[in-house]
Amino acid sequence: MKVFVGYAKEDKHVANEVVAFLETLGLDVWFDKKSLVAGDNWDDERLAAQQSADLIVHLCSEQILSRPGVVNREIRETLRLADDKPFGSTFVIFIRIGGVRLPAQFMRYHYIDFDDDWQQAIALAVGKKAGQIQQSPTAPIAFKRDNVRVTDGISRHQIEEKEETYELSIEYLEFSSPDRFWRLVSSHVEAKVLDQYYSFKADVPAVEGLDKEFFRPWEFQITTEEFFRSEEFVSIRYFVYMETGGAHGNHWTLTSNFFSGAIGSVHIRDFLQNDDERAKRVLAYCLKVVEAGLDDSPEWLINAEDLEDVWRALENFNFDSRGLTFNFSPYVILPYVYGDHEAHMPWSVASSYIGDKYLDHWHRRL
């Protein structure tokens, strides 16, 4: 099995450990420090190694995610290659260093924390990949499976289905506390996920009349994560991916936010007191943040004077101890080719726009 390893130069010591362990598993590892010789065209060799790899491992640290550069080009190429792989196959493994928060689009793929259990986690992922490579093509076409895993007081529900016309994988959280507030959070999360699930199922084409020579089963995936939790302050992020046989799949980010049992769920209109001018100023701030990270001046899709567009663009936000993070999926503010973007607004800036009721409650509790 061929494995490609990508990393930032600051994480070379971790990369050396990971590569050494992969080699003990008998894998053919492409690692620039060992695989390149003087005179090689670095970009060409790297690209060829990525394209021929059975498995790609990327080390993700603050260094990678906070700056542009070659490593980010590697990751973009990996995500492009992953789009062409069979649904549910293990192709990309992200190794998270230092607890860095991964971008929403990474939620579609497997990730491992570089901690005491990283070797076991990689070995399990490699074993799963080896099994997929050797899997018999005569395996049953259809299955439906619901699983629940419980760890640290949180149940993780998983729904997997495979039929002739579609394949799907869904994962969502449920908090085990019987307290009314946590029942609110859990029921909200489940309702949001299952609403997406049934909307997808309603659109799946019927088997009858399909041109089976050219039809490719639709793919659907939802993953959820705790963006932030402290006491009863909870921010949840959902990543949704769908592929229906077009030129490329589509994905989007959804969110849910809860400001303790005293307030319950909160939406961006609540935070901004339903003030249209505040919303326009917040969006203008976010667009400047996004533009600062681009190589050229973009042609925005959003009409900053259309209030419906403005509120819709801001609705999927998260919060944590640092401030607000606005999630912009493809087509919300920019064309698909630009991907999705996050714009962070620190509390020091956000406090100019957020209603006193929410700020006071936040500062009293944390």
Least confident of 86-95, 155-164, 230-239, 283-292: 86-95
- Across the range 101-126, mean pLDDT stands at 85
Instruction: Report, as an integer, the average pLDDT of 302-326.
Output: 96
Which of 66-80, 254-268, 331-345, 346-360 has the least mean pLDDT?
A: 66-80
Rounded mean pLDDT, 203-221: 84
| Lookup: tokens for 340 | 């999705």
On the question of pLDDT at 263 being above 90, the answer is yes
- Which of 3.40.50, 3.30.160, 3.30.67, 2.40.10 would CATH assign to domain 143-229? 3.30.160
Q: Above 60 in pLDDT, residue 271?
A: yes
Give yes or no for residue 246 having a pLDDT over 80. Answer: no
Per DSSP bridges, beta strands 55-60 and 2-6 are: parallel
Whether pLDDT at 209 is above 90: no
Strands of 323-328's sheet, edge to edge? Answer: 317-319, 323-328, 341-346
Topology of the domain comprising 2-134 = Rossmann fold (3.40.50)
Coil, helix or strand for 214? coil
Of 175, 172, 174, 357, nearest in space to 259 by CA: 357
- By the 8 A CB rule, do 125 and 109 touch? no
Residue 366 pLDDT class (50, 70, 90 cuts): low
Residue 293's pLDDT band (cuts 50, 70, 90): confident
pLDDT recorded at residue 187:
97
Instruction: Name which residue leads in pLDDT, 125 or 42.
Output: 125
Pick the CATH number of 268-365 from 1.20.58.100, 3.40.50.720, 3.90.640.20, 3.90.470.20: 3.90.640.20
If one counts every other C-beta atom within 10 angstroms of the C-beta of residue 266, the result is 19
Q: What are the angstrom distances between the C-alpha of 9 and each of 6, 37, 55, 145? A: 10, 18, 21, 42
Most confident of 24-28, 42-46, 153-157, 235-239: 235-239
Report the pLDDT averaged over residues 188-216.
89
Candidate from 35-44, 125-134, 251-260, 288-297 with smallest mean pLDDT: 35-44
Q: Is pLDDT at 96 greater than 60 in this prediction? A: yes
| Radius of gyration of the chain measured on its C-alpha atoms | 22
Running DSSP on this structure, what letter comes out for residue 203?
H
Residue type, 13: H
Q: Among 265, 263, 119, 143, which Cα is nearest to 192's?
A: 265
Q: Once rounded to an integer, what is the mean pLDDT over residues 356-365?
A: 87
328-355 residue pLDDT tens: 999 999 998 888 899 999 999 999 999 9
203: pLDDT confidence band, cut at 50, 70 and 90?
A: very high
Predicted local confidence at residue 346, as pLDDT: 96
What are the pLDDT digits (tens) for 136-176? 454 446 778 888 888 778 999 999 999 989 999 999 999 99
Pairing label, strands 55-60, 92-96? parallel
The Cα angle at residue 205 between residues 199 and 206, in degrees rounded to 5:
120
CB 333 within 8 A of CB 339: no
**Residue 66 pLDDT grade (very low, low, confident, very high; cuts 50, 70, 90):** low
Q: What spatial distance separates the first Cα and last Cα of the chain, rounded to whole Å?
A: 49
Whether 79 and 159 have beta carbons less than 8 Å apart is answered as: no
Instruction: Judge contact between 323 and 344, C-beta under 8 A.
Output: yes
Q: Is the pLDDT of residue 309 over 90?
A: yes
Mean pLDDT of 69-75: 66
Tokens of 233: 């302050």
Do residues 302 and 313 make contact, with C-beta atoms less than 8 angstroms apart?
yes
What are the DSSP calls for 267-290, one per residue?
-HHHHTTT-HHHHHHHHHHHHHHH
pLDDT, residue 296, reads: 84
Please check the confidence at residue 135 and state whether its pLDDT lies above 60: no
Give the torsion through C-alpha atoms of 12, 18, 22, 24, to 10 deg: 100
Closest to 365 (Cα-Cα) out of 178, 234, 270: 234
Tell me the sheet residues that pair with 145.
160
Burial class (CB in 10 A: 0-12, 13-18, 19+), 356: exposed
Question: Are 303 and 334 a contacting pair, CB within 8 Å?
Answer: no
Which of 14-18, 20-24, 269-273, 361-365 is least confident? 361-365
Question: Structure tokens of 56?
Answer: 């790609």
Contacts of 38 by beta carbon, 8 Å cutoff, 6+ apart: none
* Mean pLDDT for all residues in the chain: 87
Sequence ranges of the chain with CATH classification 3.30.160: 143-229
- Residue 171 in contact with residue 147, Cβ under 8 Å? no
At residue 133 the predicted structure's pLDDT band, cuts being 50, 70 and 90, is low
